[in-house]
């Protein structure tokens, strides 16, 4: 039983690296399983539609933008009332934690709290960050970052903590390139709370919501994973990909009165 389709892809690329042409582009539609409590929009067995691009050694950020443009192209063919791709870069929060000296084992649970911040109140988030061992000064910086309305404001928050701003620079490049590839800028929204719960994401991260049905959850999400193949090989195979949750999307189309 597969938890997702991305880890098996990494294994496949390592096993067949000498036979593939890079950057390797692939799509896959298959069932996956999760050991979680079933609820609206969340299933123990469901179908994912994956789009991935994997490089050998390096992978240019243009491919992060290419994947975003692919999301737009696919969802544009469905009769939705509209959709919004929320995007960030995991390096932004990661460097903020690193500059404050927060070790990785503490940063990961903190990132998971931040990823749920849209569903948590301020007091609940403060308490959850404290329980995760995140220092108050870091939590304050996180709140300032989440309130940032522009890339320059985010750079200012990072500068105030001494954090590396390279994640913001990457985010700006990916957004500009995606727009050049035809993705309407109005469908992109910077959201620094997007961290993604899976630990293998290293850069660009995104989640996609149907307009007017945001409470249903993301129908398409993913991001950049530079180190995933390191579980299977010393050779670097950085990748970027997204998964469209077909079961959740169909459930929304049938039950959500769209």
Q: Which residues of 38-58 are buried (b: 16+ CB within 10 A; e: fewer)?
A: eeebebeebbbbbbbbbbbee
The answer to whether the beta carbons of residues 178 and 71 sit under 8 Å apart is no
Give tens-digit pLDDT for 41-62: 677 788 899 999 999 999 999 9
> Which residues have C-beta within 8 Å of that of residue 89, sequence separation ≥ 6?
167, 168, 170, 171, 174, 203, 204, 205
CA distance 152 to 94: 18
Return d(Cα 219, Cα 216) in angstroms, integer: 8
* Predicted TM-score of the model (pTM): 0.91
Residue 14: inside a domain, yes or no?
yes
For residue 61, tell me if it sits in a domain: yes
Report yes or no on 21 lying in a domain: yes
Most confidently modeled range among 38-42, 44-48, 119-123, 203-207 = 203-207
**How confident is the model over 128-147, as a mean pLDDT?**
90
What is the domain count for the chain? 1
Strands (E), 92-203: 188-190
pLDDT of residue 43: 75
Asked if the structure places residue 1 within a domain, the reply is no
The Cβ of residue 127 has, within 10 Å, a number of other Cβ atoms equal to 13
Tell me the CATH number at 99. Answer: 3.30.930.10
Between CA 128 and CA 52 the distance in angstroms is: 33
pLDDT band with cut points at 50, 70 and 90 for residue 34: confident
pLDDT, greater one: 180 or 78: 180
**Containing structural domain, residue 167:** 6-255
Does residue 206 belong to any structural domain of this protein?
yes
pLDDT tens digits, one per residue of 146-177:
999 899 999 999 999 999 999 999 999 999 99
pLDDT for res 111: 83
Q: Is residue 89 part of a domain?
A: yes
């Amino acid at each position: 039983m597969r938890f997702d389709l991305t880890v098996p892809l990494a294994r496949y690329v390592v096993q067949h690296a000498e036979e593939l042409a890079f950057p390797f582009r692939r799509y896959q539609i298959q069932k996956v399983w999760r050991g979680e409590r079933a609820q609206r929009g969340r299933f123990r067995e469901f179908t994912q539609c994956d789009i991935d691009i994997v490089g050998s050694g390096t992978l240019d950020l243009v491919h992060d933008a290419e994947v975003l443009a692919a999301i737009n192209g696919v969802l544009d063919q469905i009769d939705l009332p509209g959709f919004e791709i929320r995007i960030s870069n995991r390096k932004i929060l990661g460097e903020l934690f690193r500059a404050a000296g927060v070790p990785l084992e503490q940063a990961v649970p903190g990132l998971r709290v931040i990823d749920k911040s849209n569903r948590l109140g301020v007091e609940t988030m403060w308490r959850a960050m404290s329980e995760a061992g995140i220092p108050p000064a870091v939590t304050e910086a996180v709140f300032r970052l989440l309130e940032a309305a522009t890339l320059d404001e985010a750079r200012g928050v990072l500068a105030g903590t001494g954090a590396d701003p390279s994640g913001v620079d990457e985010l700006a490049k990916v957004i500009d390139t995606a727009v050049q590839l035809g993705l309407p800028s109005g469908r992109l929204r910077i959201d620094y709370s997007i961290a993604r719960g899976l630990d293998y994401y290293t850069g660009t991260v995104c989640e996609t919501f149907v307009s007017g049905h945001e409470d249903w959850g993301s129908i398409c999400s993913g991001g950049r994973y530079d180190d995933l193949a390191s579980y299977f090989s010393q050779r670097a195979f950085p990748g970027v990909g997204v998964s469209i949750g077909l079961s959740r999307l169909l459930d929304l189309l049938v039950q959500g009165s769209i």
